[in-house]
Structure 1
Amino acid sequence: MTGPDHPAAFYDRLLDSARRLSFDLREAEVDAADQDRYGMSPEWSPLFGTPSWTDLTESARKHLTRCEASHFLGVAIWLEVALQIVLLRRVHNVDPTRADVKFLFNECADENLHSLMFAEAIERLGTGHYRLDRSMVLAGWLFRTFAWDEIAYAIVLAGEEVFDVMQRDWMRDDRVADTVRRTSYVHVVEESRHMSFARQKIRDHLVRVSRPRRFVGTIVIAIGAHVIAKGMINKRIYRSVGLDWSTVRAEISRNEHHRMMFRRAASPLVAFLDREKLLNGPARWIYRKSHLL
């Protein structure tokens, strides 16, 4: 029996959504005016409102946000590739006709197209790719090598929830380059399925975990979210546009606007984790250090 609340029925509905609402914008034309637009809504720049931001010309601010948007998209690619490695490894020997496994295959197809789409957007923004810090490279290796079920889904959900809130702003903002607005729209639509899938998988796995495993998992998820949040601030961006990194780092660290925007981005994630009892004292402390709570 498979009623509307049966897990298989839930995954079948996600698959149906994927068949109806999937996109491929890799070949989209570029608006010539894109080169004179912001790379993202300027309010999402970690420097927004700081003395360094105030001192920049309008043209320099646009260029800075194009650099920052390129890096954010690079972090999204890093996250999506790691997700596929972890999840595909876990379904290598299971029944491929299961509804959840079929949706996972569809999700990986989406994620590959997202990565290609983001890579194209980075090239169109004209800033190039910013190399990740070594700490993120190490964190990525640890994640894709050792992350277990609910950990893998929750850490990826953390990144996707933050990007979802950001990109909902970007896709509606006429000041933002069309290539970013279009890719943001596609990502928001398709990631809504992926996030529903991740939340359901987390709930499924939490049903049978012990209290010690839940406690450890709660801390690991918070650490993963912290790495993602901190990894979005890349010193190479600011040095490339001629800003002093030590000054920029100090201004970002005390920029209340930046903290407010990150808390807003993380609010859906925090609400979900709270409902699923994946927030405890140490985890809350980590989220506060990350400006996600």
Structure 2
Amino acid sequence: MAVPEHSAPVYEDLLRSAQRLSFDLRRIDLEDSDRDRHGMTPEWSPLFGTPTWTRMPEAARRELTRCEVAHYLGVAIWLEVALQIVLLRRNHSADPTRPDVKFLFNECADENLHSLMFADAIDRLGAGHYRLDRSLIFTGWLFRNFAWGEIAYAIVLAGEEMFDVMQRDWMADDRVAETVRRTSYVHVVEESRHMAFARQRIRDHLERISRTRRCLSTILIAVGTHLIAKGLINRRIYRGLGMEWRSVRAEIGRNEHHRMMYRRAAAPLVAFLDEEDLLNGFARWIYRKSNLL
């Protein structure tokens, strides 16, 4: 898809921003995390405020948040790799001198280093990698092979927007391990460009689509976002810590604080989708089922 003339300056501005403010993540010296710090702001734990959380000693809560954030970072890596596959495949034969394609190359370079940064953070936390559920793995395969234009950008934007809200809290919280605070800061700074890029590409695609395609894309974006949100809660974390998954799942499902935090994380995304006419009654129902609305 060629870049509309009125959109080209946006991509040129993003390229200049990347030249001014980027991190060489291979040169960032991150100290090993203290064991007496949380993996993320405790209030972001899906169990925060539940009876199970109340009964846990502080050391167990810290271990839980370290395991949860390790999984969140693993999901972020999964999203970033899927994004690169989709976008590079779709732009393999595009004019490499176009400003949007040049920024795409820059974004993929950033995303590779972000994935390496997150993998190093998981190692430092000592929590290990948690395998994704099969439903999420299958969804990733569908996304990589069949997602088109606005769907590809919007589903990735969904993950980026939610992580952005979370990480702004993590990077400012001195209860959180230094490796998570530092990587969150880098990611927030650089992803701000990536999110602006995704929003503009979505607008470019929406200019030329039919009402039928817009309706279909609206539903598929909601379904993809729902699966990402649900995929952040991994039963393997809680079983690995000796918890009974059925009981944990029930407590998370009843946890109003958790629903409130999810809605807060999704608020910028929902506002953008509403502005671009990518919300309808069925999509809103899906977002409510995901605790995102």
1:67-106 to structure 2, matched below 5 A, reads 67-106=67-106
C-alpha RMSD of the superposition: 1.1
- Contact 2:114/2:187 (CA < 8 Å) preserved in 1? yes
Structure 1 residue runs of 5 or longer lacking an equivalent are: none
Q: In the alignment, what sits opposite 2:119?
A: 119
Structure 1 residue 283, shift from structure 2 partner: 0.2
Paired residue type of 2:164: D
Quick one: distance in 1 between partners of 2:229 and 2:210?
28
Structure 1 residue 35, shift from structure 2 partner: 1.9
Please, what TM-score do these two structures have when normalized by structure 1?
Answer: 0.97
1:136-151 to structure 2, matched below 5 A, reads 136-151=136-151
Structure 1 residue 8, shift from structure 2 partner: 1.8
Please identify, of 98-107 and 9-18, the stretch whose mean Cα deviation from structure 2 is larger. Answer: 9-18
Q: 1:27 to 1:123 in 2, by over 3 A?
A: farther
- Contact 2:33/2:125 (CA < 8 Å) preserved in 1? no
Q: In the alignment, what sits opposite 2:194?
A: 194
Quick one: distance in 1 between partners of 2:28 and 2:99?
32
Tell me, yes or no, if structure 1 residue 228 matches structure 2 residue 228. Answer: yes
Structure 1 residue 6, shift from structure 2 partner: 3.4
Quick one: distance in 2 between partners of 1:136 and 1:248?
20
Q: Deviations over 1:21-59 (max 9, x none)?
A: 111334544445622100000000000000111111100
Q: In the alignment, what sits opposite 1:283?
A: 283
Quick one: distance in 1 between partners of 2:98 and 2:54?
55
Q: 1:30 to 1:201 in 2, by over 3 A?
A: closer
The count of residues paired between Structure 1 and Structure 2 equals 289
1:173 partner SS? coil
1:16 partner SS? helix
Q: 1:32 to 1:191 in 2, by over 3 A?
A: closer
Q: Deviations over 1:252-280 (max 9, x none)?
A: 01100000000000000000000000000
Q: 1:248 to 1:200 in 2, by over 3 A?
A: same
Structure 2 residue runs of 5 or longer lacking an equivalent are: none
Quick one: distance in 1 between partners of 2:155 and 2:226?
10
Q: Deviations over 1:118-137 (max 9, x none)?
A: 00000000010000000000
Please, what TM-score do these two structures have when normalized by structure 2?
Answer: 0.97
- Contact 1:45/1:258 (CA < 8 Å) preserved in 2? yes
Q: Percent identity?
A: 75
Runs of 4+ in 1 over 4 A off after TM superposition: none
Structure 1 residue 7, shift from structure 2 partner: 1.8
Q: In the alignment, what sits opposite 1:37?
A: 37
Q: In the alignment, what sits opposite 1:252?
A: 252
Quick one: distance in 2 between partners of 1:26 and 1:121?
13
Tell me, yes or no, if structure 1 residue 110 matches structure 2 residue 130. Answer: no
Quick one: distance in 1 between partners of 2:195 and 2:267?
14
Paired residue type of 2:260: M
Quick one: distance in 2 between partners of 1:33 and 1:133?
28
Quick one: distance in 2 between partners of 1:73 and 1:180?
10
Q: 1:33 to 1:187 in 2, by over 3 A?
A: closer
Tell me, yes or no, if structure 1 residue 208 matches structure 2 residue 234. Answer: no
Quick one: distance in 2 between partners of 1:122 and 1:131?
13
Structure 1 residue 82, shift from structure 2 partner: 0.3
Quick one: distance in 2 between partners of 1:32 and 1:103?
33
Q: 1:200 to 1:131 in 2, by over 3 A?
A: same
